[in-house]
Amino acid sequence: MDMNELWGRYKKNQDRAAWEKIVGQYASLVKHVAGRLRLLLPAHVDYDDLVGNGVFGLLTAIERFEPERGVKFETFATTRIRGAILDSLRAADWAPRSLRQREREIAQAYGTLERRFGRPATDIEVSAELGIELKELHELECQISQATFLSLDAPLKATEDGEQVPLGMKIATQEGDPIKALEETEKRELLAQAVQSLPEREQLVVSLYYYEDLNIKEIAEIIGVTESRISQLHTRSLLRLRGHLLCYSEELELAERLTKKKKRAAGQVR
């Protein structure tokens, strides 16, 4: 029985046997996603825990998948598996709050400087912006790499009720002119532009990892450096990229405030 028939039997009749075969067919996808993420995580993170949380993402993907849309299930499921694992990592965040704050400050410094200069900021410029020694910046980046899972999906700020909101959700839920015109495609375009602005070696690491699906060890062999150096380049590239998103988020908030101010002023005129 081919996969199309299995999907048909499950979606039309909720056939349990078909469901079990679909789960079995794509179980290896969970292990693949978990294995790639594991390479970027501290040593104490348990691989089996990642797989277990990834399974929830797979089951959600199977439930929500609509074969008639013509989207490959592997693509659809990978996003949800990865999202489920990231959610579990954030829920069990083991990094000290102070380190999370420093991570955000470093990313903000990269974003601010690169907007100001129109080019990648050097580590010397970033340390000066933060008012710390270059050695301390390098030590912080090393701690971030070892003790946290840096992700572009990380929450940018809390809402009034304390809920942490990732940038993607923030864009999707904005209302009013001109904010309502911003869509998820704009975020992807922003990231693509930011990746192109990375220093050459960092851009190569990001491209090989996220687009060519290579792991840290394979990338190290291609570039000819140690795996720890690749991890460092990966961390720094994500700090730069998150810095771009932080600056972009601030621009959205400013536009939103101006829009609300104009609406209030217009209401008073009436």
- List pLDDT tens digits, range 98-151: 888 898 899 999 999 999 999 999 999 999 999 999 999 999 998 887 765 555
3-state class (DSSP) for residue 251: helix
pLDDT score of 70: 86
Burial class (CB in 10 A: 0-12, 13-18, 19+), 49: middle
Distance CA 168, CA 198 (A): 21
- At which residue do the structure tokens 């794509």 appear? 26
Mean pLDDT calculated for residue range 241-270: 74
Calculate what percentage of the chain has a pLDDT beyond 90: 36
Q: How many CB atoms neighbour CB 32 within 10 A?
A: 15
Note the CATH architecture for domain 3-91.
Answer: Orthogonal Bundle (1.10)
Locate the domains of the chain by residue range. 3-91, 97-269
Distance CA 81, CA 240 (A): 25
Note the CATH number of domain 97-269.
Answer: 1.20.140
